Amino acid sequence: MKIDLGPVTRLEGHLNIKTTIEDNVIVDAKCMGEMFRGFEVFLQGRDPLDAQQITQRICGVCPYAHAIASSYAQEQAYNLTTPANGRILHNLIQGANHLYDYLLHFYQLSALDFIDVTAILQYQGNDSDLVKLRTWVKTELESKKTYPAAPFLPRLSGNYLEDTELNIGALKHYLEAMEIQKKANQASAIFGGKFPHSTSIFPGGCTQQPEVDLIASYQSLIEETRIFIQQKYIPDLLAVAQAFPEYWEVGKSKGGFLSYGLLPLGPQPDSRRLFAPGLLQEGNVSPVKFDRITEDVRYAKYSSRSGLQVRNGNLKPDPKKSEAYSWIKAPRYEGKMVEVGPAARILVEYHQGRNTQVKQLVDHFAGLAGISTDKLNSVLGRHLCRGISALVIADFLLEEADRATPGKPAIPDLAIPSEGEGFGATEASRGALLHYIRIKDKKIAKYECVVPTTWNCSPRDDRGKVGALESALIGSRVEDPKQQIEAVRIIHSFDPCLACAVH
Ligand code: NFE
């Protein structure tokens, strides 16, 4: 039986997944990005300083990651020396965006795969938000509409969390999480100018100075976010993990892990990072080399040459190409598929053991769940790694804000060279993000982005080998082939963003 799961909801953009099921097992899966955008084409010929502004429009969820990657690439191309404040403000802006994004993903995009929204009908209290939610769910259910109004219903049939109190608590947090996300976004906008699409991020810094009152406001918003993460997000995540332990075994991708590392601890982008970069394969971590990355297009709707290195990237759309089933390219590292994202970030760091907080948190939570760390490659593993990232980043941001020095420059002087090139690599919330810029005659001659969801949701490569999400789906069991809630839980654990993936 072949089923189109698309358009998959509770993710950004247009993703279809075609599954083939035999005897309740997914025996084949195809990830299909269903639109073309072309940022790399229309950036050509523009002023290089447009890049960190324009590439942010790739996405409304992770715009700052694009601005930061673009900034790092330009810093290398301009041979800039970044002032300490510049890097710190970049970190403050980008880190707050990660916190917002993890809460958005857990509560709004995934929790309702596990939490039973109908438990609200049992609610006896007088919290006005929950009373409103109870009335809404009751009305929708009684109306017997085929398609009740989103976001809480309709839903796939399956086993949901049974504990009424936990369900109602998580629904309350679902609503509160939106207020907290607002605070994290306000924090990043203090220095970023606005969210989404920062007006102030600039190569090597930020046009907003770190003033004493702004630093204090930033810290107070991050502290509120941190408390929510610690007291509500992490306990809810653990409650889901406790109720669905089988998901430590479900959704394992079948390749290595790639992380570029996140949040430089010194002024230059290649300074040591809070989360270390690396390629993890069979328990060994090796340094990342950008020239080992290529993008295959045999099964993507492009007629440009396949297997090109990033600096030679090319994009010729070909919507009718035979065999092709996606607008997403297939990036590969030394010809191999890798997973990127929270599990990659945490596992790559954990295996290097530099960040003791990451090590302690991984060991603590793995001990609580009774799992070995290789089980972080799973549906629950990806959720837990987001939670660990959130805890570590929130603590770091509170200290990092203290390191900003009022009255000192937050932006370098720069001159655009007539020729130059640069790579900029960071971790967006969804994983490894790489930008490449080449400048000729002071204009952009080439711009390439290799984006997290492009890795995770890639189609087959030139050798016919599947992408990370495809590999995680194949072999999984589904109780009801027409519903496939298990497949949707796997898909959501990767948090795909299709706007980014096709860029
Ligand atoms: Ni559009 Fe993005 C992806 C993240 S790109 S959300 O994929 O996180 O950086």
Q: What is the CATH number of the domain that holds 367?
A: 1.10.645.10
Residue 152 pLDDT level (bands cut at 50, 70, 90): confident
Spacing, Cα 88 to ligand 1 middle (Å)? 22
DSSP string, 40-102: HHHTTTS-GGGHHHHGGGG-SSSHHHHHHHHHHHHHHHHT----HHHHHHHHHHHHHHHHHHH
Is 74 within a domain?
Answer: yes
Residue 495 CA to ligand 1 center (angstroms) comes to: 9
Q: Mean per-residue pLDDT for 321-338?
A: 97
**The tokens 């790092």 sit on which residue?**
72
Is residue 147 in some structural domain?
Answer: no
Q: How many domains does the chain have?
A: 1
Long-range interactions of 265-270: CB distance < 8 A, separation 24+: 266/87, 267/81, 267/82, 267/83, 267/84, 267/86, 267/87, 268/75, 268/81, 268/82, 268/87, 269/72, 269/75, 269/76, 269/82, 269/424, 269/425
Question: 138 lies in a domain?
Answer: no
Q: What is the mean pLDDT of residues 66-78?
A: 98
Task: Please tell me the distance between residue 386's alpha carbon and the centre of ligand 1 in angstroms.
Answer: 14
pLDDT at 145: 79
Mean pLDDT of the chain: 97
Of 15, 430, 456, which is best to mutate to test ligand 1, by the most ligand atoms within 8 angstroms of its C-beta?
430
The pTM for the full model equals 0.97
* Cβ 408 vs Cβ 84: under 8 Å: yes
In a domain, 167, yes or no: yes
* Ligand 1 binding site (Cβ under 6 Å of any ligand atom): 12, 59, 61-62, 65, 428-430, 433, 451-453, 497, 499-501
Residue in 251, 214, 248, 261 with CA at minimum distance from that of residue 392: 261
Sign, CA torsion 313/314/318/322: negative
In a domain, 205, yes or no: yes
Give domain status of residue 199, yes or no: yes
Residue 256: band (very low, low, confident or very high) from pLDDT cuts 50, 70, 90: very high
Q: What are 429's two structure tokens? A: 């919330």
Q: Please report whether residue 419 resides in a domain.
A: yes
Q: Residue range 200-220: average pLDDT?
A: 97
Q: For a pocket test of ligand 1, which of 433, 492, 502 has the largest count of ligand atoms closer than 8 A to its C-beta? A: 433
Q: Which atom of ligand 1 is nearest to the CA of 497?
A: 1
Q: Is the residue at 38 inside a domain?
A: yes
Q: Note the pLDDT tens digit of each residue in 102-131.
A: 999 999 999 999 999 999 999 999 999 999
Residues 6+ apart with CB under 8 A from 35: 13, 14, 327, 498, 502
Beta bridge partners of 275: 262
Print the domain residue range for 364. Answer: 2-116+160-501
Give CA separation, 284 vs 120, 279, 350, 352, in Å: 47, 8, 11, 9
